[in-house]
Structure 1
Amino acid sequence: MHDNERSPLDSPEPDGHSRREVLRNAGAAGAAGLGLVALGSSVPAQAAEASGAGGSGAAEATTAAAPARQGDTMIGVPFERRSTVRVGIVGLGNRGGSMIDLFLAIPGVQVVAVCDPVKDKTAKAAAKVTAAGQPAPATYVKGDHDFENLCKRGDIDFVYVATPWDWHFEMAKTAMLNGKHVGVECPVSLQLDQLWELVDLSERTRRHCMQLENCCYGRNEMRVLRMAHAGKFGELLHGAGAYNHDLRGLMFDPDYYEGPWRRLWHTRLRGDLYPNHGFGPVANYMDINRGDRVTHISSFGTPALGLAEYREEHMPKGDPSWKETYIESDRTISLVQTAKGRVIRLEHDVSTPHPYSRINQLGGTKGVFEDYPARIYIEPDHTNDAWGDFAKYADWDHWLWKEHANPPGGHGGMDYIMVFRLMQTMRLGLVPDFDVYDAVTWTSPVPLSHLSIKAKGAPQQIPDFTRGGWRKARGGVNSEKPSET
């Protein structure tokens, strides 16, 4: 669930220092400059400054009308049917280096090319491909932008991006401009104007751009999804999702993230840096972009203390991290409103000690489900204020989990289920389970929560990235098993 690849920021500049070193040295000074204007819509600097930290100005700064559509909607657009899906993988660190195993495990998928500036990682990935009985893939290792050459190939159908966040937008854009469908690890981008650009590019190029949100394919999440759509929770009222995961040790580990790229985002933003894992499943339960849509977000953040305290206790005084000033709230709490009046609570906390939780809650007029640990209370099954055993609802498992009861790979098998289903939709020429509108909606809390916190919780309008297409009910992750013929 982490993009822990080597960042292109490590590559040397003409003066011999890597761009990562330049960023590290400028971390504190750059935090303010990457604030309201850079992360909001294309708002003039004067307007952003005038809005200040309070009042309604900051809220209004993100509510510009949707840009003119450059192509037809991508809602309901199927993939082209193909017997073999040819894949190019960009980023081969912890995430990409393990996900390649899943692509290779699925029949009808060929890994054609791999790319990473670290030659050893690319060589290991190429060896996995040949060990799986496939032809040796092309390798791209010549610096930061060699991914552009991978995307230009004529024998690739799908580009998978598993790199540091800084590069997600540029790589997704390049893939689509070169006629490739693209799937990106979370988040798809961190700026509102870039989210709109991805929508426009997908519509103009007729290529799908997907946020590869693996938690949408978790067993519990898919079971709750089916139950919700069958009315077991009654009329849906509220939900909650989170990324509460103590990452302090990993963020200060120079080997795990191969540098401070993830930690540096804590010097730039105050909002929810990683909303997708919690937001995606709840959005599916509520048919967001499929009959309902999210309209506003209000966010609040605690002081930023956790990373500095951890550094004080664990890092030597000469460590470069001592030049960093952290502004990211230790815990961000956001309330999201939908057009139908429902409420979604999102949380983010990666810098304080606590057990892992995505919360994963759904409530309606007939009951509620809560995860971590999984428990359920719905009428008429449960009474006397006693939680019920969620394991007894296994009959509601999605067909993917019934067909793949013990899937390989990490995160309890959800990664495999996600890749299998995506590759299946591409082979059979089906509509993908989610699209660019879901990708940008699930990521929009990143810039908007930052703006809301700066404006003391003032609501920020969430754009209608579908440009009205959300009003029509349509399918999604709660799919029917397709015929292979």
Structure 2
Amino acid sequence: MKNINRRNFIKKTSLSAAGIAAASIIPVSGQVQNARETNAMYMGGFAAAKLETIRIAVIGVGARGPQHLKFSASLPGTEIVAVCDLYEDLATKWAGVVKEMGKGERHQNIATYYGGEDKWKLMLEEVKPDMVFIATNWVNHAPMAIEVMNKGAHAFVEVPLAISIDELWKIVDTSEKTQKHCMMMENVNYGRDELLFLNMCRLGVVGELLHGEAAYIHDLRTQMNEVERGTGSWRTYHYARRNGNIYPTHGLGPVAQYMNLGRTEDTFKSLVSYSTPAMGRALYAKENYPPDHKWNQMDYKGGDMNTSIIKTALGRTILVQWDETSPRPYSRLNLIQGTKGILAGFPTRVALEGGVEGITESHHQWAQGEELAILYEKYDHPLYKRLSSTTSESGHGGMDGMMVYRIIECLRNGLPLDQNVYEGCFWSAVSPLSERSVADDGAPQAFPDFTRGNWKETKPLDIIA
């Protein structure tokens, strides 16, 4: 392919940092949609036709994409047909890795696309994959997912699904119209403790659920060292331009599934949000980069920590926090409170009324550490038991591989996915709604009902064996 001048390309591309900065401050919409297009289908329990061999393409192989590419290539019934990235070295490197994995039998006809902002569109036209992993910067998630579905493929998108309410509605409309899956790949839902808690909640161990706590607290300031290329080269602009919870789903996704939000029992109703002052990023830039460096020329508007509270239709509450700036240990909180006890993470702890059998005497004591072996033995999720050895070498302690395994398993067997398009939209909507609430001094913001009322007919996620 014809190469183009890199400096000029970065200036004009929608994938560039400047493009990110402009797009990330588009105001959210209060759009509410009630009408479904003619011939559109509700996708809550949708199962696509079986695919004996799944032809897979990947857009973006810089950070997350390679994990999805490699693990899906290792599974039976898959054929990697295309790899697309802005950069030639990444596209050719990972296509080569997968060809080697195929040992001359599979994945030998991989088309590579690179060098232009629209090469992914050409890829869709020429290769016509069955499914596409989208692992690019956040601004491109929605337009890519929409085009993938319109071109006849299922879309699997890194978090978040989109950054505006309008984009989320367009994703819903497109999925319903094309009858193609669009799943936000919330890998944390496949963590061992998250699956354990889900199983315990479904078995009624903690009684009726009242309150949850979710977070993404992860000091990522060193990503700012990726100045020209890599996650920090575009993510830093989000910190500067947006003031709210801009990365909510890792903590929220599991808690939402514990509560069956958007499925039969309950759904998202409203949100209030507040942010702290924005100080940490500017201080980090001042301490680590020359005065004339571009990171020192930015006005960082995003508060270091955001705290949001979600109220559900049943009146349950969820605390959702975000902080990628402060010097503190990693946490997703992962807490669920019920009428009979509490499950909590970081570190993993359990307290039950009357005590945890064989461990504690009352709910005033935590069962934790090595004591939890009894609970893992009794309540480990059957999906974890089945797949943990197969996926243990994949990213994030095996949760990445378990997620991809389930995607491929569902597509090959014509099963509904574990996460539907509406859940991805509800969880991602926290970002634009929190930005609006912060701007309105904590005023409540109503969640759009992306299901148009159909959540009442969508059964809870099965405890999959």
How does the TM-score come out when normalised to structure 1?
0.87
* 1:156 alignment partner, SS class: coil
RMSD of aligned Cα (Å):
2.2
Matched to 1:129, the amino acid is V
Match of 1:132 in 2: 101
Match of 2:161 in 1: 188
Matched to 2:97, the amino acid is K
Match of 1:468 in 2: 453
Matched to 2:123, the amino acid is L
Closer, same or farther: CA 40–255 of 1 in aligned 2, 3 Å: closer
1:158 and 2:140 are equivalent in the alignment = no
Closer, same or farther: CA 207–22 of 1 in aligned 2, 3 Å: closer
Match of 1:101 in 2: 70
* Superposition deviation, residue 267 in structure 1: 2.0
1:220 and 2:220 are equivalent in the alignment = no
* 1:467 alignment partner, SS class: coil
* Superposition deviation, residue 22 in structure 1: 8.5
**Structure 1: distance between partners of 2:13 and 2:153:** 29
**Structure 1: distance between partners of 2:231 and 2:292:** 18
* 2:222 alignment partner, SS class: helix
Match of 2:425 in 1: 440
**Structure 1: distance between partners of 2:79 and 2:15:** 37
Match of 2:380 in 1: 397
Between 446-455 and 386-395, report the one with greater CA deviation. Answer: 386-395
Partner residue of 1:343 out of 306, 317, 337: 317
Partner residue of 1:383 out of 338, 361, 375: 361
Closer, same or farther: CA 26–253 of 1 in aligned 2, 3 Å: closer
Closer, same or farther: CA 83–34 of 1 in aligned 2, 3 Å: closer
Gaps of 5+ in 1: 1-9, 42-61
CA contact (8 A) 1:299 1:334 kept: yes
Matched to 1:344, the amino acid is I
Listed as ranges, the matches of 1:405-424 within 5 Å are 405-406=388-389, 407-424=392-409
Match of 1:69 in 2: 36
Matched to 2:202, the amino acid is H
- Deviating 4+ runs (over 6 angstroms): none
CA contact (8 A) 2:20 2:238 kept: no
CA contact (8 A) 1:375 1:387 kept: yes
Deviation string 1:189-230 (CA, Å, 9 cap, x unpaired) is: 101111111000000111111100000010100010011011
**Structure 2: distance between partners of 1:289 and 1:25:** 33
* 1:357 alignment partner, SS class: coil
Partner residue of 1:247 out of 213, 220, 223: 220
CA contact (8 A) 2:81 2:111 kept: yes
* 2:322 alignment partner, SS class: strand
1:364 and 2:338 are equivalent in the alignment = yes
Deviation string 1:340-395 (CA, Å, 9 cap, x unpaired) is: 11101100000111111011000100000110100100133243411013332113
**Structure 2: distance between partners of 1:80 and 1:40:** 35
1:40 and 2:25 are equivalent in the alignment = no
Deviation string 1:409-462 (CA, Å, 9 cap, x unpaired) is: 111100000000110000000011111101110100110000000111100000
Matched to 2:35, the amino acid is A
**Structure 1: distance between partners of 2:302 and 2:163:** 14
Matched to 1:191, the amino acid is S
Match of 2:84 in 1: 115
Matched to 2:420, the amino acid is D
Tell me the number of residue pairs that the alignment of Structure 1 and Structure 2 aligns: 443
* Superposition deviation, residue 268 in structure 1: 1.7
Matched to 1:277, the amino acid is H
Closer, same or farther: CA 178–69 of 1 in aligned 2, 3 Å: same
Closer, same or farther: CA 232–310 of 1 in aligned 2, 3 Å: same
Closer, same or farther: CA 289–349 of 1 in aligned 2, 3 Å: same
Matched to 1:80, the amino acid is A
Gaps of 5+ in 2: none
Closer, same or farther: CA 265–11 of 1 in aligned 2, 3 Å: farther
CA contact (8 A) 1:79 1:432 kept: no
Matched to 1:435, the amino acid is N
**Structure 1: distance between partners of 2:232 and 2:338:** 44
**Structure 1: distance between partners of 2:416 and 2:331:** 31
**Structure 1: distance between partners of 2:41 and 2:275:** 39
CA contact (8 A) 2:307 2:319 kept: yes
**Structure 2: distance between partners of 1:251 and 1:358:** 22
* Superposition deviation, residue 132 in structure 1: 1.4
CA contact (8 A) 1:186 1:276 kept: yes
* 2:64 alignment partner, SS class: helix
* Superposition deviation, residue 151 in structure 1: 1.9
**Structure 2: distance between partners of 1:393 and 1:354:** 29
Matched to 2:366, the amino acid is W
* Superposition deviation, residue 335 in structure 1: 0.3
Deviation string 1:12-57 (CA, Å, 9 cap, x unpaired) is: 448x846599955996xx6xx965xx3321xxxxxxxxxxxxxxxx
* Superposition deviation, residue 124 in structure 1: 1.1
**Structure 2: distance between partners of 1:245 and 1:327:** 19
CA contact (8 A) 1:234 1:365 kept: yes
Between 386-395 and 445-454, report the one with greater CA deviation. Answer: 386-395
**Structure 1: distance between partners of 2:20 and 2:122:** 31
* 1:114 alignment partner, SS class: strand
Closer, same or farther: CA 24–112 of 1 in aligned 2, 3 Å: closer
Between 310-319 and 416-425, report the one with greater CA deviation. Answer: 310-319
CA contact (8 A) 1:223 1:396 kept: yes
Between 82-91 and 149-158, report the one with greater CA deviation. Answer: 149-158
* 2:367 alignment partner, SS class: coil
* 1:471 alignment partner, SS class: helix
Match of 1:52 in 2: none
